Chains A and B, each alone.
Chain A
Amino acid sequence: MKKIRFFRPRSIWVRSIVQLFFFALIALIVVNNTLIENQTGFSIWPRKASIHALCPFGGVVTLYQLVTTGQLVQKVHDSSVVLMGLVFLLAVLFGPVFCGWVCPLGTVQEWVSRMGRKRLRRKFNHLVPHRLDLVLRFGRYLVLAWVLYATAQSGRLVFQAYDPYFALFHFWTSEVAPTALLILGLTLGFSLLVERPWCKYACPYGALLGISNLFRVFSIRRIVRNCRSDGACGILCPMNIPVDNLEVVRDHQCISCLECTSEACCPVKDTVVFATGDVK
C-alpha cells in the first residue's frame, strides 16, 4: 500500500543551508581579498584568495595549457585545479551537485526566483515554449566550446569579461567589464520568470558537469510500483525535467538538487529516491 505523507517538507532545507554557507564563505573571502589589497584586510583561513583561485571552472579552462605547456592560464591558480578535481569526483558519484548545492550564482538565482514564483505562481518557470526551450538548453555547450577554444588560443581568461559569477562578487570594483554586469543583470532579471536561466541556457561549467548525469553512480530514481503518477516531481523540478515519465533521471540538465524526491515534493514515501542502481 502506498504511504502518502500529508505533512511533508516542501523543499530540501539542508540544501538551503549548504547553499547559504558556501555563498557566505565565498563572499567573505572575496571581500577580505579586496580589503587586503587596500591594506585594511584581516587574515582568515586558509589565506588571501581571489575569486579566480576559488573557481573550479578556472581549472577546466586551463587544462589545455597545463597539458601542452605545463603552465596555468593567467590569473588561474593551483587551487582552481584542486577544486576542479574535487568537483569532478563529486560529479562522478552524485552528478552536478556543485550546481545544485554549492554554486553561489545558482543560489542567487534561486533567491531571486522566489519573488518571481510568488508573483507568477504556476506560470513561473513554464513560460518558455517547450520546443524553443529544448533548443536553447544546448546553447551552453556552444558557450563551453567557445570558452575553451578562446582560452586555449589566447592563454588568457577571456571569459572574465562575460562572467556573471565574477561580476556578482566584484560589481563594486573597476575590474568588472560592462558586458559581465549586463549579463548578470539579465540573468537576475530572467530569474523572475525562469528558474536558473543562466544554468539552463548559458553556463559552460554546468554544461560540462551536466554530462556526468549520463554515468553518475547515484541517480534520481522513480520507483514505479510506488508512484501514484500525480506529476508533482515533474511540475516542481526547477530544471523542468519530466521526472514523472522517467525511471532513472539521466537528463543532462539535472542538478541533483533532490527537490523532486520523496524527501521534498513527492508525497509518497520511497518513490522518488537518490540511489544507486540496485534500488528498484
Chain B
Amino acid sequence: MNILYIEDDQEIGQWVEKKLREEGYHTHWLTSGYQLPVDLQTYGVVVLDVMLPGLDGFSVGRRIKRQNPNLPVIMLSARTSIEDKLEGLEFADDYMTKPFHPEELLKRIEVQVRKYEKAPEKTISIGHLSVRLDQQVVVDQSSNREIMLTGKQFSIFHFFIRHLNQILTKEQLYEGVWGEPYREGDKSLMVHIRHLREKIERNPSTPEIIETIRGIGYRVRA
C-alpha cells in the first residue's frame, strides 16, 4: 500500500518514513504541500503535518479531501489546542499530536486502512453477526439466518456501526438516531435497545454486541 507523508522536519520525516517502510508500506515523503502527486487515488492513506512552510497542513488536507473524499487523512501535528483539533477533524479522519509513539501512528494508519478497505463491500462482521449496510441486512453467522429488525432498530444499530469502538452517550445516540434533542429521563432509547438486544444478542441478559458502559452509554466493538 502507498502512503503519502508530508512533513517538513528532516529528522522526524526520516524516522517516520523508515518506520512506515519497515511496516511494509510504500512511502512517498514530501516536505511541503505545494506539489501534490497527480495520482492521489493510488494512495491508501495520507499522513500530514500541520505546520508546513508556506501552505499549511489544514489547507493541504482540505485540498486532498476535495479531490479524493475517500482517501483517509491523518493529521500529525504539534498543535494541541482543542480549536486546532476541531479544525483538523472537520475534514481529516484522525488527529495525532506530537510527540507521538510510532506504534500508535501505525495502529491508527491500520484503523483507517481497515475502515476504507471494507467500505466497498459494505459487509461488516461484528461478533456472530454479519451486517450488509447497503441492503440493511443483519445475518446471524452461526445459524446463517437473517435477523429482522424494525426501521428504528436498524437505525440505532447502523449508528453504532458508523461509530464502531466509540463510546456513545445516551444523548449522542438519541440525537443521532431521532434527530431531536434528548430530554433527561426519556426511556424510549433504553426500550429500543432492549428490543434490539433481544433480537441480535445470543443471550440478551449478558450482551456481547452492544456493551453497556455504566453511567455513560453504550459501545459496539468491531
Question: A and B: partners?
Answer: no
Interface residues in chain A, defined as those with a beta carbon under 8 Å from any beta carbon in chain B = none
